[in-house]
Structure 1
């Protein structure tokens, strides 16, 4: 039960520290919509999505008024289209994407995720068609997000898929050159993708999930920053053990607030509640930045020596706080470090404090990986694939989720600025070591075998 101190603390989070519920995401299973006839399939998925999520926006608005906590984004995740749309060609799957986008637009939701393929061990005909459809699908739509899982600890790393994804990312960026490669910003490549993550661009509804489910993604980097600053002001001799405890307690309060709202929305929609994803997801706004937490703890800048150590502590404390507060924590639940979506991280990248190599090292202990990273437009597809392969290896060996959301900005070089707007933000183009060179390693293809850690039965 919440006491008076908890209530006052939560009110301060909302009013002064940029607490919002980053997303309420309705996951919808589309496996019962499968058909070999394209028009039938499109009609079925449109009808089911609009039926289950038709009151999502209205329900979130009602809960906002009741509790005063903003629901920043209303989103939908669906079964992986690479599976349920397997009978169709890449051209037909672009039509499916347009249908999904139409449903999202009419419902007033911000994004719909699940234009997804799971190819960590091999690519089926449907998976190949979906992957080939991604550039055009993300160009012709506004709200579609796409993800491709190319590696897992149990299966290893599918280098054939990674080589293909390097080319797909280049194509997606080039088709939206006038928008700094925006389509690539809606595409993410994963290792060990969760089936229940509500955050975009990686959200999809796993095959083992319910027919429909409501999950929430809490944020709150500004809340964590404020809590640390307050604790330091009260005790200038505070050590890191105490700092970890402050983060853990703050994460627990965030989780409780998020689950309360999520369960209320689920009840209004008459759907089961899924999970709380307690990820510190920043925005491009001041006082809502993960990077500012690093400065609050005493680091000179995000990316300075000591950043990896603190990020590991931050990620662990967030997970511990969430696990204490709820039995239904899932998704990623850690700290995101997206360059373009975080003002402070973008500033560190712009002034040279943060390099791509240091960022990659930090992804070994963060919640996702190389997220919203703009790179020079002349970076070769092979080199993009090689960057992805390195990131996937970190996830596979460490039995954690990692991802790469890389944006080769057409016509731009290191140091230039890309601007995407909204939550996608803006940031500098980061230099890629030997980015325009060929990389014969990735051309070898095949599959990097699963590590010995996979033999856990």
Structure 2
């Protein structure tokens, strides 16, 4: 239970420091929707989603009003569609038909996004997996709410380099087919290594097969709260700094726990996990980069950046796990470029490069996120970027991901405007020395030696 002091303190965090619950995401299993008839399958999917999520938006709005806690997004995640459509789908167009069904269900339930147009291909690619992957550009160009992800590696299985090569091509095709909207389709597409089954954040959310029939997962956020707290620890030693971050993460997660329990009770759906990630927005002050600068960096990207981010990520997790019995998803600190004003400023100042961001992903929650690159970047180079990031996740037993946007018609130094929570981004330079022979070898990179644990 919250005591009166916590209530007052929480209200101040909301009013002054941009604390919010970033998302309530309802995960829905579609395994019982499987049918060999495509129309029957789509009908089953639509009815299952709209029945399970019919009250999600209303309940989220009611909780926000009753408790005074901003709840920014209400979302849905579903079982990876490559599994659900395997029996019925014989072509790319068949999978696109499912994507449009998902889009209609999302629109009719009023949610912001629906994730799970996904395939899990860390060890091999089935016929259905390949069809879904090849359908992604068309599916994302012809829908508004659907998000897609592909998991192509894990610490246990190694990296599926055939999938890496294919996803380099798919990312580039998605950019081309949505070129009239600054290649925004790529903003709804994530490539993972070690993807979690219970991630509530888009665009990578899907409902894993280990999950219950329906589940409530909540993602909290609060970079502004952490930054404000650290002002009180300015020039203090690392012990004080770490204690400050842990205590603040505890308070932020408590808010998420309250919302999650209340949503679970009102919807009659089991509570799954709290994802206690620090997820920034383009709003001034709501920035992970500014936290790192408060820790002592002139700009993100300066020497010491990776160490500062490692400290932040670890202390957020240590504080958050004390506030909830069920912590999952990604949990830690996100470092998207377009969604974080401090990151954008660092790029514009010349302090932050793609290579430095890659180093930072070794210790943050996810990976290379919402990074705009020149539109003429080759699909082989994109595949190489994916391979590098996936290798970091595989070796370090952590989730890593790539969400890069090759903006067709834009070159290094230009700016692309996505709008809303997606923000805007400078086009970052990419190392264009070729990796074509490497990514075209085919096959798998074996799992690392430390994966053999049974």
Residue of structure 2 equivalent to 1:173: 175
Give the TM-score normalised by the residue count of structure 2: 0.98
Residue of structure 2 equivalent to 1:247: 245
Residue of structure 1 equivalent to 2:230: 228
Q: 2:312 aligns with which of 306, 311, 314?
A: 314
Residue of structure 1 equivalent to 2:156: 154
Residue of structure 2 equivalent to 1:134: 136
* Structure 2 unaligned residues grouped into runs of 5+: none
Tell me how far 1:90 sits from its aligned partner: 1.4
Write out aligned runs for 1:5-24 (5 A).
5-24=5-24
The alignment status of 1:33 with 2:33, answered yes or no, reads yes
Residue of structure 2 equivalent to 1:286: 284
Write out aligned runs for 1:56-455 (5 A).
56-87=56-87, 88=89, 89-232=91-234, 236=235, 238-434=236-432, 437=434, 439-455=436-452
Checking the alignment, whether the CA contact within 8 Å between 1:219 and 1:280 is kept in structure 2 is yes
Residues in 2 aligned to 1:343 and 1:427: alpha-carbon distance in whole angstroms: 9
Checking the alignment, whether the CA contact within 8 Å between 2:28 and 2:79 is kept in structure 1 is yes
Residues in 2 aligned to 1:6 and 1:227: alpha-carbon distance in whole angstroms: 15
Tell me how far 1:150 sits from its aligned partner: 0.5
Tell me how far 1:438 sits from its aligned partner: 5.7
- Between 1:401-410 and 1:1-10, the stretch displaced more is 1-10
Tell me how far 1:2 sits from its aligned partner: 3.5
Residues in 2 aligned to 1:388 and 1:296: alpha-carbon distance in whole angstroms: 31
Checking the alignment, whether the CA contact within 8 Å between 1:216 and 1:275 is kept in structure 2 is yes
Residues in 1 aligned to 2:232 and 2:53: alpha-carbon distance in whole angstroms: 41
Residues 12-71 of structure 1 deviation map (CA, whole Å, 9 limit, x = unaligned): 111111011000000000000001111101110000000000000000111011100011
Residues 353-377 of structure 1 deviation map (CA, whole Å, 9 limit, x = unaligned): 1000000000000000000011111
Residues in 1 aligned to 2:144 and 2:256: alpha-carbon distance in whole angstroms: 27
Residues in 1 aligned to 2:421 and 2:211: alpha-carbon distance in whole angstroms: 28
Checking the alignment, whether the CA contact within 8 Å between 2:257 and 2:323 is kept in structure 1 is no
Tell me how far 1:296 sits from its aligned partner: 1.4
Tell me how far 1:209 sits from its aligned partner: 0.2
Checking the alignment, whether the CA contact within 8 Å between 1:173 and 1:407 is kept in structure 2 is yes
Tell me how far 1:330 sits from its aligned partner: 0.4
For 1:325, what is the secondary structure of its paired residue?
A: coil
Residues 104-143 of structure 1 deviation map (CA, whole Å, 9 limit, x = unaligned): 1111100000000000000011100100010000000111
Residues in 1 aligned to 2:8 and 2:229: alpha-carbon distance in whole angstroms: 14
For 2:190, what is the secondary structure of its paired residue?
A: strand
Residue of structure 2 equivalent to 1:48: 48
For 1:178, what is the secondary structure of its paired residue?
A: helix
Checking the alignment, whether the CA contact within 8 Å between 1:75 and 1:110 is kept in structure 2 is yes
Tell me how far 1:396 sits from its aligned partner: 0.3
Residues in 1 aligned to 2:20 and 2:28: alpha-carbon distance in whole angstroms: 24
For 1:326, what is the secondary structure of its paired residue?
A: coil
For 1:374, what is the secondary structure of its paired residue?
A: strand
Give the TM-score normalised by the residue count of structure 1: 0.98
Residues in 2 aligned to 1:350 and 1:378: alpha-carbon distance in whole angstroms: 21
For 2:124, what is the secondary structure of its paired residue?
A: coil
Tell me how far 1:8 sits from its aligned partner: 2.0
Residues in 1 aligned to 2:192 and 2:435: alpha-carbon distance in whole angstroms: 23
Residues in 1 aligned to 2:154 and 2:78: alpha-carbon distance in whole angstroms: 21
